[in-house]
Amino acid sequence: MASRISKTDPWSQNTDEYQKALEIFRPYKDQIIGATDGNHEARMLDMFGVSPMQLFCLNLGIPYCKWSAIVRLKVGKRKTGRWYQNYFLYFHHTTGGGGSLGSKLNRVVKLRDIVEGIDVYFGSHNHQLAVAPQDVFYPSIQGGIKKRRIWYVDCGSYLEWNDSYAEKGMMGPTKLGSPRVRLDSVKHDVHVSL
């Protein structure tokens, strides 16, 4: 998505990246539950009225979720046909971030101001790999107050630091990779590892 007004110059990008991405993700297309736009797609939408993510999803036959998505996952099917656990996940590319680890993770925490009642909030704009749990209280319909744990996950990146706009912009290198999230099927419990 490099252009003359982006942080990366258009002369350094590989024009085969789109085809390579299709090649990488095609074997996993049946496991992908959706994809969202981010700032790079927003640049293309603003300049040309086209989202490459929408085309990518169309090519792979996966749901295109535009800017964000709330996903409900049912885990641990019983013999009766009912599910043991239901988890709600909120995905957004997020915006901004700042220079510190805390300010980057705060962009993910801000998602809770938009949608309440989510088990795991996911953001990814700032390329940081980070996770934070938070215990919150809520009123129970059976009476009293109960406690539950919610998670904030900054999804990381695979952008190498050397010779990238991150090095040019004096941004520190980050651990490459993605978080792994496990949703327990017996009790309502989330585990996140980096």
Locate the domains of the chain by residue range.
1-66, 68-194
Helix (H) or strand (E) holding 53: helix 52-60
| CB of 89 closer than 8 Å to CB of 120 | yes
- The pLDDT tens digits for 159-188 are 888 888 778 878 788 889 999 999 999 999
Res 14: pLDDT = 61
- The pLDDT tens digits for 9-60 are 665 666 688 899 999 999 999 999 999 999 888 888 988 888 999 999 999 9
Tell me the pairing of strands 129-139 and 145-155: antiparallel
Spatial CA neighbour of 33 closest among 4, 61, 10, 12: 61
